[in-house]
Amino acid sequence: MQLPKTVQKCIEQAETELAYNPKLLRMFKQCFPNTLETTTRLMDDGSTFVFTGDIPAMWLRDSSAQVRHYLPLAAQDQELQRMIEGLVKRQLKYIQIDPYANAFNEEDNDNRYEDDLTELNPWVWERKYEIDSLCYPIQLSYLYWQQTGITSLFDETFLETMKTIISLWRTEQRHFEQSPYRFARTTGPKTDTLRNNRMGMPVNYTGMTWSGFRPSDDACTFGYLIPANMFACVVLGYMEEIADRIYGDEQVKKEAAILREEIDYGIRTYGIYRHPEFGEMFAYETDGFGNYNLMDDANVPSLLSIPYLGYADKDDPIYINTRKFILSKHNPYYYEGSHAKGIGSPHTPKSYIWHISLSMQALTSSDNEEIAEIIRTLTSTDADTGYMHEGFHVNDPNEYTRPWFAWANSLFGELIYKLMQEQRMKELALADKGER
C-alpha cells in the first residue's frame, strides 16, 4: 500500500523534530510506515488484510495494534479511513466465522503450521482462544469513532458481533460447565497445549471470564488472565456506549454493563495479591482457588499496560505497586544485562527482552528520565537494522528473534509520534543528557 499523504507529512515533521538524533529519526522513518508498506493488503471486497509480518496470517490482536498509531491521522485522510474500516470489516467477518480463533487466513485455504485437536475451519490459521483477540477489534472501532466521528462501521454485523462476544464471555465465566472449547497440540512445547483433556486446569467461579491462552499465544497457567479481563472490562464499557449512542439498544447496553461489573468484581476480589514487599498488587493469573501466578509478559494486554488499556490510571496505588514488582527481579521474566533491562516472555528464550515491553514501559511512564533511558535503549538494540524485533538478548542485541514483526514497529512509532505531538522531544533530549 502506498503511503497516505498524512503519513508522509508526519514523517516530514519528524525530519525537523528528531533531527537532533539521526538514529532515532532513521528508525521512526522506517517503523512508523512499516505496516502500510509491508503488511497491508486492500482487498477487492472492500476489506483489508493485515498480516503480522514474517507469518502470513492475520491475528485479530496484532492487526489492530499494527494500525492503532494511524488513528490520530485518520480524520483527515480518506485512504487511512478506507484501510481501517476495511480491517474492521474483515475482523468482524472472522469473528463470525469462529469467535474462538485468534488468527486467520487471507482465503479459506486451510493454511496453518499445525493441525490441532480442536474444531478447525479453512479460514482459521490458529484456534488458540484468547480474550484479547475479541477485545482488540472493538477497541480499534471505538477509538476510530472517537478520533474521526465516523460511525459507518457500526452496521448490523457490528451489533451482532458485540452480542457474540458478550455471549461467549458469559459462557466462559463457567468454562467447565458450559464451554464447548477444547484445544490440544500434539507437537511443540507444553505451552502450546491445554492440559486436562484439552480443557485447561480447573478454575473456580469468580465472575471473571476464562482464557485458554495469553496474548503471547502461550497457554495460561491459571485460567483467569487478569490483564485480559481488565481489557474486557474496558471494552465492555465501549460496548455500552456504542449500544446506547449508536444503536439505542437497551438490552445490549444492559448486558454489557452487568458483565463488566461481574468481571471487575472478580478482578478486585480474586486478582489482587498481598505481597510482603510490594503490598497489594495485581497477579498475572489466578484460578480462583487461591493460587496466583506472579509475573508479567511482554505481550499486550499485560500488567505493565494497565493505564494504556484504560483500566486504571498511572497513579493508581495498586498499579504502582504492581509496576514496581514487574520491573524488578521478582518478576521471573524481567532481565538485566550489559545492553538493556526490561520484560521478556516465556515465549522467547531466557534473557531476551522485548521491544514491545520497552515501548509500553515508556508509554505508561510519567518520568522523563525513564522515558529518555528507554528511547536510548530502543535505538541501541535494533542490531543496526532500523527496525524493532520481538526479543533480543540483554547482553547482545545482535541476537534477536523475528526480524519482521510489524506490531513492535508500530508500537515504537506510536510512542515517538505521541511524544512529538506532546512536544516533549526537546525535554527528553535534555533528560537524556542529565540536564534539567
Establish if 368 belongs to a structural domain. Answer: yes
Angle between helices 368-380 and 425-432 (to 10 degrees): 80
Tell me, what's the pLDDT at 436?
38
Confidence of residue 428 (pLDDT cuts 50, 70, 90): confident
The CA distance from 398 to 106, in Å, is 33
What average pLDDT does the segment 412-430 reach? 90
Tell me, what's the pLDDT at 423?
87
Establish if 112 belongs to a structural domain. Answer: yes
The residues, any chain, with a CB within 8 Å of residue 378's CB and separated by 6 or more, are 27, 355, 358, 359, 388, 412
Q: Which residue matches cell numbers 512445547?
A: 189
Among the listed residues 50, 48, 135, 67, the one whose alpha carbon sits nearest the alpha carbon of residue 99: 135
Q: What confidence tens digit (pLDDT) does each residue in 79-92 have?
A: 999 999 999 999 99
Amino acid 166 reads I
Establish if 15 belongs to a structural domain. Answer: yes
The residues, any chain, with a CB within 8 Å of residue 254's CB and separated by 6 or more, are none
What is the pTM for the complete model shown? 0.97
What does pLDDT average to over the chain? Answer: 97
The CA distance from 40 to 63, in Å, is 9
Helix, strand, or coil (residue 100): coil
Number of domains in the chain: 1
What average pLDDT does the segment 33-46 reach? 98
Confidence of residue 435 (pLDDT cuts 50, 70, 90): very low
Tell me, what's the pLDDT at 425?
85
Establish if 436 belongs to a structural domain. Answer: no
State yes or no: cis peptide before 301, omega within 30 of 0: yes
Helix, strand, or coil (residue 267): helix
Establish if 435 belongs to a structural domain. Answer: no
The CA distance from 126 to 94, in Å, is 12
Establish if 62 belongs to a structural domain. Answer: yes
Establish if 19 belongs to a structural domain. Answer: yes
Confidence of residue 433 (pLDDT cuts 50, 70, 90): low
Q: Which residue matches cell numbers 464471555?
A: 169
Neighbours of 182 (CB within 10 A): 18
Q: Which CATH number covers residue 263?
A: 1.50.10.10
Neighbours of 421 (CB within 10 A): 12
Query: Whole domain around residue 129: which residue ranges?
Result: 5-428
Q: What confidence tens digit (pLDDT) does each residue in 177-229 have?
A: 999 999 999 999 999 999 999 999 999 999 999 999 999 999 999 999 999 99
What average pLDDT does the segment 148-159 reach? 98
Establish if 156 belongs to a structural domain. Answer: yes
Cell of residue 262, nine digits: 461481574
The residues, any chain, with a CB within 8 Å of residue 80's CB and separated by 6 or more, are 4, 6, 7, 70, 73, 74
What average pLDDT does the segment 386-396 reach? 98
Confidence of residue 427 (pLDDT cuts 50, 70, 90): confident
**Residue 1 pLDDT > 90:** no
Confidence of residue 434 (pLDDT cuts 50, 70, 90): low
- List Cβ<8 Å contacts ≥24 apart for 336-342: 336/394, 337/393, 337/394, 337/395, 338/394, 338/395, 339/377, 339/380, 339/381, 339/394, 339/395, 339/396, 339/397, 340/377, 340/381, 340/392, 340/394, 340/397, 341/377, 341/394, 342/377
